[in-house]
């Protein structure tokens, strides 16, 4: 009988290990694991906006860029909330020297000045410290 109990325990542990490796247990996200979030999520929208401001401050372009498409967005709860996002940003008609408010900036029309980048962004939000840190914002054309 002891052999059967050991076999059952080993089998159960194997199934549990496979579920942990897959990142979920009965469809629920494990604590600390990234999970998909809707692009309409207000926290995500703020994180993407802050990341884009970070990009604009680092860029030498005369025009501001703003998010045009979000391809994938994840949230991870770790000492705050970390957003992991793959997105596109596109050049707007707003000059950096004149404007900092992206909500009033239209995208450049197709043509010589139109430009879009594929980007990966990681933003960490720590609400109790009122901090938002862009840890990464890397782009390619």
CATH C-level class of 32-140: alpha beta
pLDDT in tens, 57-80: 999 999 999 999 999 999 999 999
Contact 92, 108 (CB under 8 A): yes
Report the alpha-carbon distance of residue 55 to residue 69 in Å, rounded: 16
Q: Are strands 131-140 and 63-77 parallel, antiparallel or unpaired?
A: unpaired
| pLDDT classification of 9: cutoffs 50, 70, 90 | very low
pLDDT in tens, 83-115: 999 999 999 999 999 877 898 899 999 999 999
Contact 118, 88 (CB under 8 A): yes
pTM for this predicted structure = 0.76
Report the alpha-carbon distance of residue 31 to residue 52 in Å, rounded: 28
């Amino acid at each position: 009988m002891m052999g059967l109990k050991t076999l059952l325990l080993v089998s159960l542990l194997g199934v549990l290990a496979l579920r942990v490796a897959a990142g979920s247990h009965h469809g629920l996200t494990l604590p600390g694991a990234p999970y998909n979030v809707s692009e309409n999520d207000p926290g995500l929208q703020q994180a993407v906006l802050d990341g884009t401001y970070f990009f604009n401050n680092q860029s030498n372009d005369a025009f501001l860029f703003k998010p045009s498409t979000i391809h994938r967005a994840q949230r991870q709860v770790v000492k705050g909330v970390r957003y992991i996002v793959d997105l596109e940003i596109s050049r707007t008609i707003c000059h950096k020297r004149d404007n900092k408010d992206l909500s009033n900036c239209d995208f450049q029309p197709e043509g010589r000045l139109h430009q879009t980048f594929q980007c990966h962004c990681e933003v960490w939000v720590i609400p109790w410290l009122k901090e938002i840190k862009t840890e990464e914002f890397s782009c390619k054309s």
